[in-house]
Chains A and B, each alone.
Chain A
Amino acid sequence: MTQAELLPLDEWHKAQGARMVPFAGYMMPVQYEGIIAEHLWTREHAGLFDVSHMGQILLEGDNVDAALERLMPGDFAILMDGRLRYSMLLNEEGGIIDDLMVTRRGDHFYLVVNGATKAGDIENLKARLSDEIRLTHMTGQALLALQGPRAADVLAALAPEVADLSFMQGMHCRIAGVEAWVSRSGYTGEDGFEISMANEDAATIADALVADERVRPVGLGARDSLRLEAGLPLYGHDLDEEVTPVMAGLNFAIGKRRREEGGFAGDRRIMAELADGPAACRVGILVEGRQPVREGAEILDDEGNEVGRITSGGHSPSLGRPIAMGYVAAPLSQAGTHLKVEQRGKLFSAEVTPMPFVPHRYHRKQGK
């Protein structure tokens, strides 16, 4: 077991009163004042998250878009400069190696991948992309996320041009005197931004953001409960190499042209699942009562047969009740289907429900 690494903002988090825990190979802030308070603050105001454990990667060379299209189901050929897409790195069977963000940025592509999987992703990309494509792991960059209904006002006070960004669009700008790449994106279901800057500049930007009284630092604990309410899958829990984009309900990330033409890893299986439906799929689950059901709990049908597993579950601070997501056999995936969940010998009544559990509030411009 190697020692957990320290984030560029390690001292900053401790000064803010964070409780630090090891996660994805780093000492990370799990909470400051408390998970529920931080969660609700983000839904009502703006939360600042340090996600510097995530991998930031540059890909340069000719036809990077076409090369990425062999490994991912997104339509990157039509992706405009400064636009980003949610996508997935697939194995040859169509299983998900990681989920990630892909941005066309001038003559190169900028990827943000999960922290726990970044080393494997980089190995995988190097092995599968031609030598003409240069891959740079941007270890000198930190990543912050500012999320919540006040995020746009807060960031625009420091960099007015970000107000023009719409959801899934990014730009270079200066914040508090330092260079940053800002995209309008996130992992909470709220409007907000992800901000990439040099490690040594991270504290300058973090200080400038929390100087605004609408902003509070938010830890990993609330990041998890926020994304669960938003119905967003977490890699290693709700997604893994056994699961395809169609099973995961992520069809929106498969480009229209790609569905017709294929030409990506696992295309035969994925196109068949698009045509015929997958055998099992990811669903939202409302659990009766107050007790959370968590990852690993068995999902049963009315007759007590195991029909799936919970992959994420917990208390929803916004709804004040337990929520979960998991995979069930396709015939049981319709909203309103009654199920049972078994956890530590106890049975819970549950029902399939549409996701997100809490509506998304992304900033999409009219007419686009």
Chain B
Amino acid sequence: MSLYFTKEHEWLRVDGDVAVVGISKHAAEALGDIVFAETPEAGRDLSKGDDAAVVESVKAASDVYAPASGEVLEGNEALADNPGLVNEDPEGEGWFFKMKLANQGELDGMMDEAAYRAWCETL
């Protein structure tokens, strides 16, 4: 299993051709208190960069983009009743969706955890 991060502050935990996707701790802290999250339905085909999910903090609405192309396997239903999970455990229980990757080559341009954390320090 390997962990990838994007410059959009999303993470992918990849196991074979399946990725769990969420937003980083840095992103969750920047958003502040999250009061609503809408995750994609299973079966939806996503192209890299598509709007995949919605997250709303007290202050504003933001889109969660598909960090890679593929088919949605499952949205995190726990977020509907408890969107605060994204603040409590953004890189764990607060995941947004699972997807089957269409093209693992898309992972190549992403950062590993150390590179991502170092990059966040520079922001």
Contact = CB atoms under 8 A, between A and B. Distances in A.
Interface stretch (A28-36, A98-106, A359-367): A28-36
B58 A36 contact: yes
Given A221-B59, A315-B58, A317-B58, A292 B32 contact: no
Contacts of A35: 32-33, 58-59
Interface in A1-46: 30-31, 34-37
Q: How large is the interface on A (under 10, 10 to 19, 20 to 34, 35 or more residues)?
A: 10 to 19
Contacts of A36: 33, 35, 58
A314 interface: yes
A290 interface: yes
A113 B20 CA distance: 50
Contact of B56 (A30, A37, A221, A292): A292
Interface in A194-251: 221, 225
Contacts of A30: 59
Contacts of B38: 291
A30 B31 CA distance: 12
Given A225-B58, A314-B58, A31 B32 contact: yes
A152 B69 CA distance: 58
Contact of B33 (A34, A290, A294): A34
A292 B35 CA distance: 8
A290 B35 contact: yes
A35 B58 CA distance: 7
A223 to B, nearest CB: 12
A317 B60 CA distance: 15
A290 B58 contact: no
Contacts of A314: 58-59
Contacts of B83: 290
B36 interface: yes
A48 B36 CA distance: 28
State the main secondary structure of chain A at its contact with B: mixed
A54 B83 CA distance: 35
Contacts of B32: 31, 34-35, 221
B61 interface: yes
Nearest to A321: B35
Contacts of B33: 34-37
Given A34-B32, A36-B33, A291 B59 contact: no
Nearest to B58: A35
Nearest to A291: B36
B121 to A, nearest CB: 17
Contacts of B80: 290
Nearest to A37: B33
Nearest to B84: A36
A327 B36 CA distance: 25
Contact of B61 (A31, A34, A294): A294
Nearest to A343: B61
Contacts of B54: 291
Nearest to A290: B36
Q: Give the one of B32, B36, B58 with max A CB within 10 A.
A: B58
B35 A315 contact: yes
Interface in B37-61: 38, 54, 56, 58-61
A324 to B, nearest CB: 13
Interface of A: 30-31, 34-37, 221, 225, 290-292, 294, 314-315, 317, 344
| Nearest 7 pairs of A and B residues by beta carbon | A315-B35, A36-B33, A35-B58, A291-B36, A290-B36, A35-B33, A315-B58
5 contacts: A34-B32, A290-B36, A292-B36, A294-B61, A315-B35
